[in-house]
Amino acid sequence: MSDKEALKQEKKELIGKMLEMQKKFIDLEHQQGISGKDYWASSDGLLATYRQDYRDMAMRVVDLAHQITGSHR
């Protein structure tokens, strides 16, 4: 596998994880609702690290896209 193909595969896997996180978030929201306090300050369950984990993955996807195309931020 070429370096570019490995980057594309990592990007694909991260996007898959992000979509799964979104699905779980939506399911949780539909089941019990999510307050702003829960979203911003929860210390347990899915929401405990959701924002930071999702942000980190999203930023990695952006970085990978730039590496794949050879562009810069």
Q: Which two tokens stand for residue 67?
A: 């590496």
Provide the whole-model pTM.
0.87
d(CA 67, CA 60): 10
Q: Where are the domains of the chain?
A: 3-69
pLDDT tens for the chain, 73 residues long, are 789 999 999 999 999 999 999 999 999 999 999 998 888 988 888 899 999 999 999 999 999 999 999 898 7
Find out whether 53 and 21 touch, Cβ atoms under 8 Å. Answer: yes
Q: What contacts 73, CB < 8 A, 6 or more positions away?
A: 62, 66
* 39 alpha-carbon distance from chain centroid: 15
Q: What are the DSSP calls for 11-23, one per residue? A: HHHHHHHHHHHHH
